[in-house]
Amino acid sequence: MAAMIRPRMSDHEHAPRRPARHGYAAPVLLVLAFSLMLTLAADAWILGLPAALIVGSWFFKYAFLLMDHAAHGRPGTPVLSAEDANPLGETRPILYGLAFAAFYGASGALAPALGASAVTVIRLAGWLLLPAVLATHVVTGSFAAALNPFAIAATVRGLGIGYVLVLAAAIACGALGHFVAFDAGHLAFMARIAVLMSLCLALFLLLGVLIHRRRFELGFEADHAPERRQARDDRERDRERDRFVDQLFAECRSGSTRSAWATIEQRAGDGAQRLPELEWIYARVAAWPDSRLASRVAGELINALLAALDAGAPAP
C-alpha cells in the first residue's frame, strides 16, 4: 500500500500532481489490494462494513484521480496520496454519491404523478448524462457547473462522437460487470471484485483520455498538453534571449562594439543554427540608436542567407 498511498509531495507550478514513479503497475496493485480488503471485510459481515466503506471511498477517489491524470495528459499513472485518502481531501465521490441519492429520491417521488415508466426514462437519461456531468466537472473544476444543464450540453457537444463511444463502452462494461457479479459464481469473490474495479477504472480512464483528445473543443487547458509545453519552452527561450541582448547592449554602451560582435559570433557559430540566430539577433538590435552593430549583423545575415541558398536550402 505504500506504493499507492503516500504523503503529498510539493506541487510544481505546471504539474499540480506528480506522475507516479511506478509506471502503470499502480492501478493493478491498487485493484488487487482493495479486492483483498473488500473480501476480508465481506467475511467479517457487519463488522467489516466500516472497512468496506473506507476502501470503497478510496477506490472511487482513485478513479477520479485517474480520470484527471488522463485528462491533463500526465505521464504514467497517479498514486493515491495520504491527503487524497483523507475524507476531506478528494471530495468528489462523496458529492456525487449524495447527488446520485438525491436524484434517485427526487425521481422516485415523481412516480405517483408521472408513473413508473416516466421515472425509468428520467433515470435512464441521468445515467446517459453521467459521463458528461463528470467531464464537465473536470473541465470547469466546479461541482455546481457540473450540474448546470447548459454546461453539460456544451460538454456533450465538445466531446462529439467520442461521447457515443464512451456510452457504448459503458454499456459493454455494464453488461460484462452484470455477468461477473451475478452469473459468474464459479469465480472467487476476490476475482469478481477485481474485475468490477478494473472495468470501473477503465471507464474513468477512457473518459479522461477523451477529454484530453478533445481539449480544444472543450476549452480545457491540460497541464501536459504539447501546446502548453511549447509555450513554456518559448517563454524560457525568450527569457534567455533577453539576457543575451542585455549583455550585448551593455558591451555596446561601453563602446566595445567589437566585443559585442565577438559575443554574437560565439553564440551563432558556423553550423545550421547560424542563420536563425542572426535573424532574431538582428530583429532585436536593429532598433538600437547606435546602428553599428546592427549593420554588422545585417551584413553577416546576408552572407549566411546567400550561403544557405548556395547549399540548396529553401529561402526563409
pTM to 2 decimal places:
0.70
End-to-end CA distance of the chain: 57
In a 3-state reduction of DSSP, which class is residue 279?
Answer: helix
CA angle 87, 128, 184 (to 5 degrees): 75
pLDDT, tens digit, 9 for 90 and up, residues 254-264? 877 888 888 98
CA angle 103, 105, 109 (to 5 degrees): 115
- Spatial distance between the Cα atoms of 304 and 123, rounded to a whole number of angstroms: 70
Residue 1 cell numbers, joined = 500500500
pLDDT, tens digit, 9 for 90 and up, residues 93-128? 889 999 999 999 999 999 888 889 999 999 999 999
Residue 20 has pLDDT above 50, yes or no: no
- Spatial distance between the Cα atoms of 142 and 61, rounded to a whole number of angstroms: 16
Amino acid found at 94:
I
More confident site: 169 or 232: 169
Q: What is the mean pLDDT of residues 201-207?
A: 95
Q: Out of 10-19, 23-32, 41-50, 232-241, which region has the weakest mean confidence (pLDDT)?
A: 10-19
Give Cα separations from 139 to 44, 70, 90, 218, 256 (angstroms): 41, 12, 16, 7, 55
CA angle 55, 57, 58 (to 5 degrees): 65
pLDDT, tens digit, 9 for 90 and up, residues 255-310? 778 888 889 888 888 777 888 888 999 899 888 888 888 888 888 888 888 887 87
pLDDT value for 7:
38
Burial 197-213 (b: 16+ CB within 10 A, else e): bbbbbbbbbbbbbbbbb
**Contacts (Cβ under 8 Å, ≥6 apart) of 222:** 71, 72, 73, 212, 215, 228
If you write DSSP's letter for every residue of 195-238 in order, what string do you get? HHHHHHHHHHHHHHHHHHHTHHHHT---TT-HHHHHHHHHHHHH
Q: How many CA atoms lie within 13 A of 259 on its CB side?
A: 10
pLDDT, tens digit, 9 for 90 and up, residues 119-176? 999 999 999 999 999 999 999 999 999 999 999 999 999 999 999 999 999 999 999 9
pLDDT value for 316:
55
pLDDT value for 195:
94
From the list 205, 227, 203, the residue with the least C-alpha distance to 215 is 227
**Contacts (Cβ under 8 Å, ≥6 apart) of 116:** none
Residue 314 has pLDDT above 60, yes or no: no
Q: Is 144 exposed, middle or buried (0-12, 13-18, 19+ CB in 10 A)?
A: exposed
From the list 199, 269, 238, the residue with the least C-alpha distance to 27 is 199
pLDDT, tens digit, 9 for 90 and up, residues 180-197? 988 887 889 999 999 999
